[in-house]
Structure 1
Amino acid sequence: MDKDQLLDVILQQQEIFKEIPGDLVEREIDPEKYMRGKEIVIITGIRRSGKSTVLKLISEKYRNSGENILFINFEDIRLADISTKNYNDIENIAVELFSAEKKTIFFFDEIQYAPSWERWLNNLHFKGHKVFVTGSNAKILGREIATSLTGRNIVLPLHPFSFREYLKLKEIEIPDEKRLTSKKSAEILHYFKIYLECGGFPEVIKEDNIELSGCYFNDILKRDIESRNKIRDSTGISRLATYLATNSASIFTYSTLRHITGIKSNNTISQYIDYFRDSYLFYTLPAFHYSLKKQAGASSKVYSGDNSFLKTVSFNFSDNTGQKLENLVFLYLLQSKKGYRLFYHSGEKSKKECDFLIIKETYLSCAIQVSSTITDEKTKEREISGLTDALKEYNLSKGYILTMDSSGIENTEGKEIIIIPVWKYMLYPELYP
C-alpha cells in the first residue's frame, strides 16, 4: 500500500476517532489500571459491545494530558491491501505528525485484520510505545498472545452493557441498598424487564431498536465465522446457531444437534461451537466434577452472548422468562466474576441440578439457582431441592435463589437459602458473592 494513501486514511480516521459522542457512558472499568503499566492492552469481546468506545475514552484521558495519539482501524476496507512493509510507514507517519519529545501511544481497532500484527506489536513494545488494541476473535488473539506476547500484555474482556451501565445510560439513579424504597424498586424492576428482553448492546439500547441485534448476529455468523473459516455448509451452521439461541440455558447433546442440523459429524459440530465461542456468539458451561476425566466427558449447557439473541434469533414463542433470567445471570457472572471459574451442578446420584457453581481460586465458593418465580410450591420445592443438593455435595453453608422479584430466607437441612431478585443481585455486587 502506498504511504500517501495510508497517511490519507490515517488522517481521516484520526478526526473521527477524536469525536466523543455526547451520550457516551463510562464503562465500569478502571482506565487508570490499564494506562499505568507498559504492557500492551488487548480489549476483547463480541462485536458492537463498545470496544472502540472504550478506546476513545482511554485515548481522551491521554490526549487531555498532552500525549501523542495515533489511531488506526484495520477493519477499514481502504486498508485491505496493507502489508507488513507498511508498518515502518505507520511509525514514520507518527514521527511526522507529532513532536518527537514524547513517544506516540498507538490505538489499533480490530487488530486481527493486520498481517503478522503480533510481531509488530512486540516491536513497538520493545521501542517503548504504549499500545492499545481491540479484537473480536478470541482464538486468533489468544493464540498469538500465547506465542508472541506472553508477559507483555494485559487482557481487558469487554461485554455488552451490564444492568448498572444500562441504568446509567437511561439516567436512572442507583441508590444505596439501604435507601431503596418500594417506589424506586418498582421503577428499577420496570427497566430490568426491558433490559432482560433487549440485552446490553449499546446501540440497540440507544436507538431502542432490538432488530439491530439480529443484524449483529448474522454479521458475526457470516463474516467472522463462515467467511473467515471457509465454511461451505451455511445451512447447517445457521441451523445450529438458531437452535442454540432457542435453547439457551439448556444442556445440549451431540445426537440432538446432529438430528436438528443435518450435520453428520460430531467433530464438525464441535468445531462450529468452537467458532461460536471464539466470536463470543455463544458460551458453554460444563458440569462440575472432581474428576477431570468425568468433567471432560460430561454434558455442557449453552448460553447466548447477549440476551437480545433470545428474542431476535431464537424460535421461542412461549413465555421463556426463566430462560432469559438464567442466560442474563450467566452473562453477569461472566462479566463480574473475572478470574473465577463457572460450572453447573448435576447430581451424579440424585440427578438434581443447580444452575451455577462459582470457583474462586481453588475452592468452590458459591452455589446459585435461578427461577423466574417460586410462588408455586412445587417450583419452589424443586429449586430449593436442587440448590440444597449442591450445597450438601460441596459442603457449603448457604446458597442463593435469584428470582424476578421475590425475597426471603429459607432454612432447610441445615442450609441457609437466600432468595433475592436478580436485579438487586446485579446492582449491589459488593453485598453478594
Structure 2
Amino acid sequence: MIKRESYMSRIRPFIGNELIKVLTGIRRSGKSVMLNLIQEELIDRGIDPRQFVSLNFENMSNAHLCTATALHDEILQLAKEIGGKVYLFFDEIQEVADWEKCINSIRVELDCDLYITGSNAKLLSGELATYLAGRYVEFVIYPFSFGEFMELYRTVYPGTADRQCFNQYLTLGGMPYLSNLRYDEVASSQYLRDLFNSVELKDIVKRNNIRDVDMLERIIAYITTNIGTTFSSTAISKYLKSEGRSVSPETVLNYIKGCVDAFLFYPVKRQDLQGKKILTVNEKYYVADHGIREAVFGGNMKDINLVLENIVYMELIRRGYSVTVGKVSEKEIDFVCEVRGRKLYVQVSYLLASQETIQREFGVFSSIRDNFPKYVVTMDELDMSRDGIKHCNIRDFLLAEEWN
C-alpha cells in the first residue's frame, strides 16, 4: 500500500473536524485504501482504533443496514457502547436508501468525524445539496498516476527502468489492484474487463434504469474509440443510425451523462481563446483509465497519440487544474489549464518525427501572447525546445513536481 500523499495532503487539514469528508471516483480507484490511510493517520495522532466504525455497504453482511433508519439506529447504539467521539467510515454509501437523511442526523446527534465514499457523481447532487449544503468537502480519487504506478510496480519488480515502467503503464493503466496480480498481463486484462462490466452494470445501467444495454454499450464503444476527438451527440446518433440503430441525440446525451456520473468518462469543453468564451458544441471525452480501454477495446498502441493525450489529461485534473480545449482560429491547443490564477498550455504528440509535425505542434502557440508556460509533450528522448516553448518527454512531464 502506497501512501498517496498527494491526496492525504489535501485531506489532512479536515481530519478531526465537523465537515463530512466525501471521497468519490470510479469504482476500485482506491477510495477504500484512502479510508485505511486516514485511519492510520488518526492512530498516529493518538486516536484509539476502538473509536472507529467501518462499514462497506457492498458487503452482504451489512445488507440489513442499507436503509437510513437501520443504519442510524445501529450507529447510535455503537456510539453509545464506544463512548466519546466516534470516527465513522462508510464505504459505497450510495447503497443505503435515503443515506443523506441518516448522515445528516448522525452529524447533528453525535460527536463524530465522518468519512464516506461513493462511485457516482450524483452522490453530491439532489437531496445531499439540501441536507448537507456547506457541510461537506469532496475529494475525487483517481486511478494511479504514472508516479504512483511506478512506485508500486518497483515494489514487485525492483530496479525496473523508468522507460520500461512507462511501457507497462501504457498497456495496463493505473488501477491499484493490479499490483496484487503482479501485473500479469492476462490476469490484469481479465480483472479490468470485469471491473468495466461492474461499472457498466452497477453504476450506469442500474443507477439510471437503462433498459437498452446494447445501445449503451455501442455509445461507450464509440466514445472510448474516439477519446480526445471532438464530436457531438448528433454525430453519435448519425453513426448509430448508419449501424441500423435509431436513437435521438437527447438519449445519447442521457447515456453519456450516466457514464460521466459513474466517473468512466470525463468531458472537456472547448474554449475560444480569441473570443474568450466557452463553446457549447463538440466536447472531447477522456476515459478514467486507459488500461480499461486496452483491456476492453484494445488499440492503445494503434491510437497511441490519443492515449498519451488521455494520460496527460488525467494527470492535469489529478493535480487540480481545470482543463479546456483551446480553439484559436482553425487551430486547436490540446489543453488550456488553469489553477489559482495560473495558466498552462499543453500540446501532446507521439513523436516529432518530421519538420511538418514539429511546425504543427509548436506553431499552434504562435498566436498566444501571454507569458504562461507552454509545453509540447511527446515520447521523444531529445529536447527540441524552441522559441520559449518547452519540449518535454512524457515521462519527465508526468513525474515533474511542477510545471513552470
**TM-score normalised according to structure 2 size:** 0.88
Structure 1 contact 343–358 (Cα < 8 Å) conserved: yes
Cα separation, partners in 2 of 1:145 and 1:272, compared to 1, 3 Å: same
Which residue matches 1:387? 365
Which residue matches 2:248? 265
1:236: Cα distance to partner? 0.8
> What letter matches 1:48 in structure 2?
R
Structure 2 contact 204–258 (Cα < 8 Å) conserved: yes
1:144: Cα distance to partner? 3.9
> What letter matches 1:60 in structure 2?
E
1:364: Cα distance to partner? 6.2
Cα separation, partners in 2 of 1:291 and 1:220, compared to 1, 3 Å: farther
Cα separation, partners in 2 of 1:375 and 1:122, compared to 1, 3 Å: same
Cα distance in 2 between the residues matched to 1:61 and 1:89: 28
Alignment of 1:91 with 2:75, yes or no, is: yes
Which residue matches 1:43? 23
Secondary structure, in 3 states, of the residue corresponding to 1:287?
A: strand
Structure 2 contact 375–390 (Cα < 8 Å) conserved: yes
Alignment of 1:427 with 2:399, yes or no, is: yes
Q: Deviations over 1:168-207 (max 9, x none)?
A: 21237xxxxxxxxxxx9x9212111211221110112431
1:78: Cα distance to partner? 4.1
Cα separation, partners in 2 of 1:410 and 1:161, compared to 1, 3 Å: closer
Cα separation, partners in 2 of 1:397 and 1:164, compared to 1, 3 Å: closer
1:329: Cα distance to partner? 0.3
Alignment of 1:189 with 2:163, yes or no, is: yes
Which residue matches 1:204? 178
Secondary structure, in 3 states, of the residue corresponding to 1:299?
A: strand
Cα distance in 1 between the residues matched to 2:163 and 2:366: 28
1:212: Cα distance to partner? 1.4
Picking from 310, 315, 322, the partner of 1:341 is 322
Cα distance in 2 between the residues matched to 1:122 and 1:220: 28
Q: How many residues align?
A: 385
Q: Deviations over 1:35-92 (max 9, x none)?
A: 1432110011000101011111212333452140011111223444532321343124
> What letter matches 1:90 in structure 2?
E
Picking from 100, 107, 113, the partner of 1:125 is 107
**TM-score normalised according to structure 1 size:** 0.82
Which residue matches 1:252? 231
Please say which of residues 88-97 and 208-217 is displaced more in the overlay. 88-97
Cα distance in 1 between the residues matched to 2:311 and 2:90: 30
Alignment of 1:6-405 (within 5 A): 24-28=1-5, 29-30=7-8, 31-63=11-43, 65=46, 66-67=48-49, 68-81=51-64, 82-95=66-79, 97-98=81-82, 100=83, 102-126=84-108, 127-171=110-154, 187-207=161-181, 208=183, 209-261=188-240, 262-289=245-272, 295-314=278-297, 316=299, 319-336=302-319, 338=320, 340-347=321-328, 349=329, 351-361=330-340, 363=341, 365-389=343-367, 391-392=368-369, 395-396=370-371, 398-405=373-380
Cα separation, partners in 2 of 1:77 and 1:304, compared to 1, 3 Å: same
Structure 1 contact 160–201 (Cα < 8 Å) conserved: yes
Q: Deviations over 1:7-57 (max 9, x none)?
A: xxxxxxxxxxxxxxxxx1111222532314321100110001010111112
Cα separation, partners in 2 of 1:203 and 1:370, compared to 1, 3 Å: same
Structure 2 contact 89–116 (Cα < 8 Å) conserved: yes
1:407: Cα distance to partner? 4.3
> What letter matches 1:335 in structure 2?
R
Cα distance in 1 between the residues matched to 2:32 and 2:89: 10
1:380: Cα distance to partner? 1.2
Unaligned runs of 5+ in 1: 1-23, 173-183
Please say which of residues 324-333 and 262-271 is displaced more in the overlay. 262-271
Cα separation, partners in 2 of 1:26 and 1:315, compared to 1, 3 Å: closer
Unaligned runs of 5+ in 2: none
- The CA RMSD measured in Å over matched residues stands at 2.4
1:146: Cα distance to partner? 2.2
Cα distance in 2 between the residues matched to 1:285 and 1:160: 18
Cα distance in 2 between the residues matched to 1:36 and 1:305: 31
Secondary structure, in 3 states, of the residue corresponding to 2:125?
A: helix
